[in-house]
Amino acid sequence: MELERILRSQGFGSKKTCRALIRSEAVTVEGVPCDDPFAEFTSAGLNFTVDGEAWQYREKAYLLLNKPAGYECSNQPIHHPSVFALLPPPMQGRGMQCVGRLDEDTTGLLLFSDDGQFIHRMASPKWKMPKVYRVTLKHPADDAQVAALTSGVQLHDEPAPLAAVACERIDERVLLLTLTEGKYHQVKRMIGAAGNRVEALQRVSLGTMTLPADLPEGAWRWLDAERDLAGMFVAR
Ligand code: URA
């Protein structure tokens, strides 16, 4: 594939921008400077640098962010900066999207991808993708609240009660709550309906992915589709 097309596919801008970048000697390929936009390379696994920053060619990109509070899961945020501000600019250039959304004040595991089929499958109710939240409560959780969350609570605009598939009390005021749907403010509304209130919310896992303990808030890492995501779509 031509170098100009490689850069375009990886989010470095328009044809014109990528051509100018290459001509300005900002690009190396496998350690060798290249100022020819039409030079041909095998794209799979290609290592290149742009302005000294190292990249690897990825046909589809998947990454995991440890979302901090104070960021909106939107390209056009209204009250707070966008989560995309935490990723390098080429991520937006190549059309990365959030895989589901977290509220502005929710922290934890958030996936991004530009693989439309993957995003669609992750959202499909068919897969009942489990999402585990660490919920810090305002009031100590009693047995009745834990029982209500697993047997089902009625929310105002839902036709039927919603139930957590698991609810583990790990401290007086801390629950590990597992949901398989992803409705608007679902955790906060379910906890409210059970008679308590969410003080802090962190997503700790999604499907087979768990928030890595060594990934600080605000930091992200690449995922490998084969290694990290292949187990996501198993029949449950
Ligand atoms: N449920 C909520 O209430 N908020 C989130 O961010 C995610 C799930």
Q: List the CATH number of the domain containing 17.
A: 3.10.290.10
Nearest CA residue ID for atom 2, ligand 1: 185
**Whether residues 167 and 191 fall in one domain:** yes
User: Are 186 and 219 part of one and the same domain?
Assistant: no
CATH number of the domain residue 92 falls in: 3.30.70.580
Q: Are residues 89 and 66 located together in one domain of the fold?
A: yes
Tokens of residue 27, six digits:
């690009």
48 and 159 belong to one structural domain: no
Find the helix or strand (DSSP H, E) in which 66 lies.
strand 62-67
Q: Which domain holds residue 106?
A: 62-125+209-228
* Domain shared by 83 and 18, yes or no: no
Answer yes or no: is 234 within a domain. no
What is the total count of domains within the chain? 3
Tokens of 24: 């300005």
**Cβ 202 under 6 angstroms from ligand 1:** no
User: What dihedral do alpha carbons 101, 105, 106, 110 form, nearest 10°?
Assistant: 50
pLDDT at residue 236 in the model: 63
CB-CB neighbours of 31 under 10 Å: 8
Give the mean pLDDT per block of 10 residues along the chain (236 residues): 98 98 98 98 97 97 98 94 96 94 98 96 91 98 96 94 97 97 96 98 97 98 91 79
Q: What is the pLDDT of residue 233?
A: 86
CA 58 to centroid of ligand 1, rounded, Å: 31
Task: Tell me the CATH number at 167.
Answer: 3.30.70.1560
The atom number, within ligand 1, closest to the CA of 102 reads 6
Does 150 lie in the same domain as 96?
no
Residue 85 domain-assigned (yes or no): yes
In the three-class reduction of DSSP (H, G, I as helix; E, B as strand; rest coil), residue 177 is classed as strand
Do the beta carbons of residue 178 and residue 130 sit within 8 Å? yes
Q: Which residues are part of the catalytic machinery?
A: 103
69: tokens are 């509070």
Q: How far apart are CA 65 and CA 76, in angstroms?
A: 18
3-state secondary structure of 95: coil
Residues 215 and 201 in one domain: no
* Same domain for 147 and 48: no
Pair (158, 186) in one structural domain: yes
- Give the ligand 1 atom nearest the CA of 101: 6
If you count them, how many residues does the chain have? 236
Q: Identify whether residues 146 and 196 lie together within a single domain.
A: yes
Task: Supply the angle between the helices 186-193 and 143-151 in degrees, to the nearest 10.
Answer: 130
Domain match, 142 and 202 both: yes
Q: How far is CA 34 from CA 75, 79, 90, 108, 153, in A?
A: 33, 42, 20, 40, 61
Are 29 and 82 found together in one domain? no
| pLDDT confidence of residue 230 | 86
pTM, whole model, 2 decimals? 0.94
In a domain, 84, yes or no: yes
* Residue 201 CB less than 6 A away from ligand 1: yes
